[in-house]
Structure 1
Amino acid sequence: MMVASRALSGALSGNVAVIKSALAEITDETNQGAAFAYLPLCWSIGSLIAPTLGGFLSHPAERYPSVFNYEHLRQYPFLLPCLFGSGLSSIGLISAIFFFDETLTESKGHSRSSISIEEDSESQETLHTAGTNSDITIRRCSTVLGDEPIPSMWNILKDTSVQRVLVSYAFMALISVSLNAVCALWLYTPAKLGGVGFSTSEIGVTFAVSGLLTTMVAVILFPPIERWVGVVILYKFGMAMQVGCYL
């Protein structure tokens, strides 16, 4: 049941792709690094708050008997943090319905516009300046609407660059999620079995400190380093660091 619940949670987490697409549509190369730095920042803030709440809200009947002394919470000690998480998701859903503006404009959804520079003789007009023999050639810029059809999902997936990015990101997500899960199990495992033997609240504090450090890196270090070395080099360095974390 736990595995099925976690798999369903990941399968329904489509907001990640939507948020990244929206950011890409409202930014350009001058501010994409700073804008996309907010994504790990939000993740880090969640990693800072969520483990703390999850750790201190679990087993509420034993921790806070004066407030949560209910048999149902004794039978299901992790029900309260799960309900709290569901409540936050509901708030996010309502906020998106009423306050999230569409970043893909209607014109973009139906047609594409591109500026083409016509260099042939038919697209040039010559203006003779009074009192001189020089000619000024002005090239017309024509706006072409709807010339290129919007590619389908399968056509996009056939692109080699897209395939490389997807495969690389899949491995990165697998490594990241696996590391988080293994780390939580290692912290909870008793010391005599090779673990650390932390309680749920101590595990929550540990992940909160990790989230705080990640937040500082995302806000302070990532934007200037991304502008300095570029996305590809920074991505390769991050993947190499993942190997070091496992070792």
Structure 2
Amino acid sequence: MMNSHDGSEDETTVPLLEFDLDQEAQSVDSNKAQALQRRTPLPLTQLMILCAVRLAEPIAYTQIFPYINQMMEDLHVTDKPSDIGYYSGAVDSIFAVCQLFTVLQWGRLSDRIGRKPVLLFGLTGVALSTSLFGLSRSLIWAICARSLAGALSGNAAVVQSMISEITDETNQGQAFPLTGLAWSLGCIFGPMIGGNFVDPAKRFPTTIGTIPVFANNPYLLPCVVSASLTMCSITFGIFFLKETLPSKIAVNEKSAHRLSFGRENEKLPQKQVSIKYILASPIIKSVFKNYFLLSALGTSTDVVFILMAYTPVRLGGLSRTPEEIGYALAFSGMAGGIIQVLIFPVLQRKYKNIPLYRALMSLWPLIFALLPFINIIARMTLPAEALLDDDLRFPASPLVWISIGVVLSVFRMASMSYSLNVILIKNAAPSQEALGSTFGLSQSVACIARASSPAFVSSIFAVSKKYQILGGNFVWLAMFGIGLLALWSTYQVVDGAEERERMKEERNMF
């Protein structure tokens, strides 16, 4: 496919599951020692502001997870509990479908007019669409609200571009996980908001539940709480977030210089790099292909865990309530935040990007191998009547919760591959001026995966349980296979920074 994949010929003969990270670490320790001594200090103030702004989107995105299946039941989209996954998956998928058609344009627009206005406009769209989703009285309304949210949301590419512009190779391993922490915190608060504020007429019958608009719209309150937090992020961003686009900064500085001295010394903004030029890079193609599979795995894990947790035990699930699902997802987000901030920077400094990336990607098949065992444990520990009546919700045993915690922790360990993938995408960008477009393209690739994955995995889950294919376990076998495919594809991924360094050394030899 390419003349060079990893910068060395013997890399292609390494066995699929063999990761000699210590050997790789020893080979780069001497090279990184000097870099560590002159590491650029992190621009903590702007990073913290970016994280605060970034926090709003995952809260809005994940707050529907605890109650989406219950919402589909209340909307009477189907009379069969085993088919709920089709519809909840469709509602989740439509967000990414609509984002697919706009995220690249938001990224390219940010390359022209600046990062800050695009970011703030996207947050405004998130607040509006989240509120509308809470007013859903039909499946069509819910789909339209999620469609609006996806179409107006291009923040991920913009935030990644901004971090790339205020960091360098010496401190990016610390900076990118901080946005991962913001996402993880959002994944803590979002499900907790969704699980604890849903149906206020029952949960808060003497206070908020007496307000007609909330009594008549049981899913509005968590959406309003989420939208309010988003508005706080918008206000925070307006007053404290600084523009990072180099050409925009240059124009502003040039204007100030002209006012002071009456002449111009700054470079004019450069011409925008074309999409065709970006996609012509073999390195970009290799990173994007793996990012598609990574996004598919991450989205599928979120969806299938929620489905499994809500599904009755007799059908292969865990029979948990929306509130319990919210707490489980909050734990997952907390574990992800700790791992991203405390563990990832250490690993990224010690090992090369590509070997570490392969090691982390090897955890995805393990997740799908472990998930069916939680149902087995639930069957062994729940009373017999829990297997006969789907409406009964018995407390889960401590062993079930420990098993859930283990699987979700492995999931968050595997999710460190997202931060590495962002670094690989940044390293693969053809130029500084193309960062917004490159990250916009990467998000388009991710959107295709996120748009297709929920419906795909929900359908496989429903079919597996409905027809008891392989005892209802076909879904786990299918996802295990996709995990292996993603692991195999990492052997075609190239680190652009290492490739440029290798080419520079080759030129210096002649």
Other-structure match for 2:281:
159
Using the alignment, how far apart are the partners of 1:85 and 1:107 within structure 2?
32
- Structure 1 pair 177/8, CA: closer, same or farther in 2 (3 Å)? farther
2:152 aligned to which of 12, 15, 34: 12
Cα distance, 1:156 vs. partner?
Answer: 1.3
Deviation at 1:4, TM superposition (A): 5.1
Indicate how the Cα distance of structure 1 residues 166 and 3 shifts in structure 2: closer, same or farther if over 3 A, else same. Answer: farther
Q: Give the 3 Å change call, closer, same or farther, for CA 172–218 of structure 1 in structure 2.
A: same
The CA deviation at 1:94 is 3.1
Between stretches 91-100 and 175-184, larger displacement belongs to: 91-100
Q: 1:31 aligned to 154, 171, 191, which one?
A: 171
String of CA shifts for 1:62-93, please: whole Å, max 9, x gaps. 01101122444344221111122222222223
Match among 291, 303, 315 for residue 193 of structure 1: 315
What is the aligned counterpart of 2:217 among 76, 87, 92? 76
Give yes or no for the alignment of 1:205 onto 2:345.
Answer: no
Per-residue deviation at 1:215? 1.2
- The worse-fitting range, judged by mean Cα deviation, of 166-175 and 99-108 is 99-108
Aligned to 1:50: 190
Percent of aligned positions with the same letter in both sequences?
34
| Residue identity opposite 1:93 in structure 2 | I
> Aligned partners of 1:236 and 1:6: how far apart in 2?
34
Counterpart position of 2:296: 174
How many residues align? The count is 214
User: 2: CA distance between counterparts of 1:166 and 1:90?
Assistant: 33
Deviations 1:138-172 (A, max 9, x none): xxxxxxx67x8552233112222122222222221
- For residues 238 and 7 of structure 1, what CA distance do their matches in structure 2 show? 32
| Greater helix share, structure number | 2
Q: What are the Cα deviations for residues 97-155 of structure 1, in whole angstroms up to 9, with x where unaligned? A: 33221112337778xxxxxxxxxxxxxxxxxxxxxxxxxxxxxxxxxx67x85522331
- 2:343 is equivalent to residue 221 of structure 1: yes
Say which is worse superposed, 86-95 or 206-215, in terms of deviation: 86-95
| Aligned counterparts of 1:241 and 1:222: Cα–Cα separation in 2 | 15
Q: Would the alpha carbon gap of residues 66 and 165 (structure 1) be closer, same or farther in structure 2, given more than 3 Å must change?
A: same
Residue 210 of structure 2 aligns to a residue in which SS?
coil
Could you state the TM-score of these two structures normalised by the residue count of structure 1? 0.77
Counterpart among 40, 55, 58 of residue 180 in structure 2: 40
Task: Give me the whole-angstrom Cα distance separating, in 1, the residues matched to 2:318 and 2:278.
Answer: 46
What TM-score do you get using the length of structure 2 for normalisation?
A: 0.39
Deviation at 1:237, TM superposition (A): 2.2
Question: Cα distance 1:161–1:211, how it changes in 2: closer, same or farther (>3 A)?
Answer: same
CA distance in 2, matches of 1:199, 1:52: 13
Amino acid of the structure 2 residue aligned with 1:240: S
Alpha-carbon distance in 2 for matches of 1:10, 1:185: 22
Whose strand fraction is larger, Structure 1's or Structure 2's?
Answer: 1
- Cα deviations by residue, 1:177-210 (Å, 9 ceiling, x for unpaired): 1210111111111222221111111111111111
| Worse-matched range after superposition: 162-171 or 43-52 | 162-171
RMSD of aligned alpha carbons:
2.5
1:37 match: secondary structure: helix
Q: 2:243 aligns with which of 102, 107, 121?
A: 102
Residue 193 of structure 2 contacts residue 226 of structure 2 at CA under 8 Å; is this kept in 1?
Answer: no
Match of 1:66 among 180, 200, 206: 206
Q: Does 1:235 align with 2:357?
A: yes
Range 30-39 or range 75-84, more displaced: 75-84
Number of the residue aligned with 1:85: 226
Query: In structure 1, how many angstroms separate the alpha carbons of the residues matched to 2:192 and 2:248?
Result: 45
Q: Is the 8 A contact 2:177 2:340 kept in 1?
A: yes
2:93 is aligned to none
Q: In 1, distance between residues paired with 2:248 and 2:189?
A: 40
Q: 1:84 to 1:184 in 2, by over 3 A?
A: same
- Between structure 1 and structure 2, the one with the greater Rg is 1
- Report how far residue 232 of structure 1 moved: 2.0
Counterpart CA distance in 1 for 2:341 and 2:244 is 24
Structure 1 residues 19 and 52, CA gap change in structure 2 (3 angstroms): same
Residue 32 to residue 161, structure 1, CA distance change in 2 (3 Å): same
Which structure 1 residue ranges, 5 or more long, are not aligned?
111-144
Shift of 1:11: 4.2
Displacement of 1:37 in angstroms is 1.2
Relative to structure 1, is the Cα distance of residues 161 and 3 closer, same or farther in structure 2, using a 3 angstrom cutoff? farther
2:305 pairs with 1:183: yes
Inter-partner Cα distance in structure 2 for 1:29 and 1:164: 21
Distance 1:180 1:11 in 2: 21
